[in-house]
Amino acid sequence: MSRPAPDSPDANLLRGHLDLILLSIIQGQPKYGLEISKQAQERTDGYFDLKVGSLYPALHRLEKAGFVRGEFQSAPRSGSPVKVYALTESGGQELEARRQEFKTFTQQLGKLWQLGGIQ
């Protein structure tokens, strides 16, 4: 039985790739939570709508693992302090490893589709 294309990813699929998504967004210039969420939406035409309930626990987990570094800074508009996240060197290595893992995974799925195993 086929399903219509989803407007947003399955929660389990998102959960399994959330770290990859966040590390990809944080790469480059440091960003605060709302900025990360907005970029996820903008870069994917609204497909990834990261909710506070999953965003901040994931950022905390990445910080605890040493993949991102959080630091309080004044917000651009309000001046109130916000926590800004930057990718660490080990976070860059983790991002590259996860990208490679995802690339391999999607290549293998492609092989199944070519064989008619998945439609």
pLDDT tens for 11-22 read 777 788 999 999
Query: Is there a domain that residue 49 lies in?
Result: yes
Q: Provide the CATH number for the domain around residue 49.
A: 1.10.10.10
Give the residue carrying structure tokens 């399903």. 3
pTM of the model: 0.83
pLDDT band at 64 (very low <50, low <70, confident <90, very high): very high
**From CA 117, how far away is CA 119, in angstroms rounded?**
7
The rounded Cα 72 to chain-centroid distance in angstroms is 21
Q: What is the pLDDT of residues 45-55, one digit of tens each?
A: 999 999 889 99
Kindly state the average pLDDT of the residues 78-85. 88
Q: What pLDDT score does 4 carry?
A: 38
What domain count does the chain have?
Answer: 1
Q: Assess if residue 55 is contained within a domain.
A: yes
